[in-house]
Amino acid sequence: MNKPNRWLSVSSLMGVLLVTACGGPSESSPAPSPVPPTSEQPPVSGETDTAPAPSLPVEDEADDEVAPPAESAIVVNNCRVLTTRGTSASGDDGDGSVAANTQDDNMSTRWSALGKGVWLTLDLGSAQSLAGAAVAWHQGTTRQNQFTLATSTDGTTFTQAYSGTSALTAAAQTYPFSSARTARYVRITVNGNTVNDWGSIAEARACGEGGTTTPPPSSSDSGPALPRQPYLQSVGTTSAIVAFRTSASCSPLVRFGEGSDVSRTATASAAGWQHAVKLTGLSPGRTYSYVVEACGSTTGVRTFQSASGPDTSRVRFTAMGDFGTGGSLQSKVLALLGQSSRAGEFLLTLGDNAYSSGTEAEFQSNMFKPMAALLRSTPLYTTPGNHEYLTKNAQPYLDNFYLPTNNPAGTERYYSFDWGPVHFVSLDSNCLSYPTAECTKALQQEWVKKDLAATTRPWKIVFFHHPLWSSGEHGSSTSMRNAFASIFEQYGVDLVLTGHDHNYERSKAMSGNAVAASGTRGIPYLVVGSGGATLRPFGTSQPSWSAFRDNANVGYLDVTVDGGTLTAKFISSSNSVRDSLTLTKTVPSAQVIPQALVARPDSDTPPGPVYDPTRAPDFLRPTVVPPADTLESVADAPEPAQGFAHDVP
């Protein structure tokens, strides 16, 4: 839909593209792919480039920075500069912008070559211990370059040491390797920039060991506080999104890496106030650290886990609904859920994320502010509730989250994702009452059949807002049951999680409109509307299909899938296990799966709303939102299309 205009990504190329620019448009026009050179042999010490044919295009200088009036020598920080004995390149612009210019200590000259994959190689003359490289990019204040750094001992076989996106600055930037390595050659491969496909470097230096070591990042924030702290979205096996807001318009960056390393970078491609920075090149089931640097602010280092692949048999996550109040009951749940490791690998929310009407101000005050600490380290997958639909058909909900769009309509209202042995499906139950062009009952029915049929994960869990079985104040949504229960049964759904009624309730294993017969398969339906909204009395005495219910405790659901066993526990804010469910099934033995399948690229997520970078958006204006801490503040508008009824079979 209408999502972020600023995406960043980190190149994950593992090979080295050897190319020569050979004719094409000027720098301001799109460039064709370069033609590979006939030779890749390393130069001898002191060798420089031979200029290609003069018919090649010349890099447009119309928007060059004006050289400083005083000396323009390169200034390199945090780098013990090694002497470069020779340079070579995949090609140049045919107008004097040769590789040797990157060693003349003159920021007004450069090496330039056209095409994605062009490269510049520094020859140190002998093998040395390397810790990184420093690069001053031509026109660095107006465009960002996607690049990789690789090293070699023989000039033929190169091993990648770094990948990233340059920041918007004309100053030299030092890129540290994750660990020191011994090599003679350093190669910089440029894979285009945010303006065109020219690779242009003013100066480049190799850094020796002992000059690029930086202290571990602090866990404390520094500088002005961000108006919205980072939160993790669409975390998959190979990528993740770090979203946040800034109080000034700027182009921030995220430093990240596996374990405690934060040497990789992903940088905003444009100035703005709301940012969604995409981290790529992740590996499945690994722990990553990250730090946001934005407008003079630096966030303390935090960690998260990437999604595990299909070769993993275990996953643990948490879920809760009807929590976005900003009030006292929500704070009790978060006080427990926010403790170390309590939230599991990720958190599912089951709707009513921001009371009482899902406005922009309510999302900030009643969700992102009280949950800031939790969401900095816990990936979040959401589903909309009826309260979100009270404002512009849930448009603020769509503007605030960055969710998968793997459905024909390309909408974030419903989607699916995989994590370890489980396939998760999020439906939008509100579309029965508030249909839109991209979200109707029929569209979701058609999509979910194909989606469930296609998955090979042994466990299937579906979550949405309105319950198919509930004895709470609203009762069961017979409209949702009639529309989807038979589909869930046909395609082997194991568990359904919902909210809406402000209590906890677990049904027995259900089939059709009744409890499943003994010895037959059924689906348990859970209502976890106990995340922080004021609890409500049950609408009827406990019906025979209800296995357990609780309207006296707020809390969350803790779910672990391990091989052929699923265990779900309802944990109250006082840290007592109020209910427990165990499901068992026969699942295939764990198999060795090729890494290419385990780390399959994650589906794209649409960008967020576009704001004028020259004018502060309305969401930065101070707004007082009282907590939704009463029955009246979390009351529901009628939803006739949901067909609520109290089932007493």
Which pair of tokens denotes residue 2? Answer: 């209408």
Q: What is the mean pLDDT of residues 443-470?
A: 98
Q: Is pTM beyond 0.85 here?
A: no
Q: What is the CATH number of domain 80-208?
A: 2.60.120.260
Beta bridge partners of 201: 111, 137
State residue 647's pLDDT score.
78
What topology does CATH give the domain 224-307?
Immunoglobulin-like (2.60.40)
Q: What is the mean pLDDT of residues 484-504?
A: 98
What topology does CATH give the domain 309-584?
Purple Acid Phosphatase; chain A, domain 2 (3.60.21)
Mean pLDDT of the chain, nearest integer: 86
Beta bridge partners of 253: 267, 293
State residue 604's pLDDT score.
64
State residue 603's pLDDT score.
61
Which pair of tokens denotes residue 157? Answer: 């076989």
Which pair of tokens denotes residue 314? Answer: 């275990």
State residue 128's pLDDT score.
93
State residue 73's pLDDT score.
75
User: Crossing angle of helices 478-490/441-454, nearest 10°?
Assistant: 20
State residue 588's pLDDT score.
86
Question: What's the pLDDT band for 61 if we cut at 50, 70, 90?
Answer: very low
Pairing of strands 287-294, 253-258: antiparallel
Instruction: Name the strand (E) or helix (H) holding 128.
Output: strand 118-137
**What is the C-alpha to C-alpha distance for residues 149 and 129, in angstroms, rounded to an integer?**
15
State residue 610's pLDDT score.
66
State residue 602's pLDDT score.
64
State residue 74's pLDDT score.
84
**What is the C-alpha to C-alpha distance for residues 61 and 97, in angstroms, rounded to an integer?**
12
- Structural domain spans, the chain: 80-208, 224-307, 309-584
Question: What Cα–Cα distance (Å) separates residue 347 from each residue in 320, 350, 557, 635?
Answer: 8, 10, 10, 25
**DSSP type of residue 541:** S
Give 538-550 pLDDT, tens digit per residue: 989 999 999 999 9
Residue 356: asked if its preceding bond is cis (omega within 30°), the reply is yes
Maximum mean pLDDT: which of 19-23, 247-251, 499-503: 499-503
State residue 593's pLDDT score.
56
Instruction: Name the strand (E) or helix (H) holding 278.
Output: strand 272-280
pLDDT above 70 coverage of the chain, percent: 84
Pairing of strands 173-193, 118-137: antiparallel
Least confident among 10-14, 232-236, 250-254, 575-579? 10-14
**34, 118 contact by CB (below 8 A):** yes
State residue 643's pLDDT score.
82
Give 504-536 pLDDT, tens digit per residue: 999 999 999 999 999 999 999 999 999 999 999
State residue 638's pLDDT score.
75
Question: Which among 467, 465, 470, 510 is positioned nearest to 489, based on CA atoms?
Answer: 510
State residue 626's pLDDT score.
82
Question: What's the pLDDT band for 211 if we cut at 50, 70, 90?
Answer: low
State residue 42's pLDDT score.
37
Judged on CB neighbours under 10 Å (0-12, 13-18, 19+), 249 is middle
**What is the C-alpha to C-alpha distance for residues 395 and 220, in angstroms, rounded to an integer?**
34
Residue 623 has pLDDT above 80, yes or no: yes
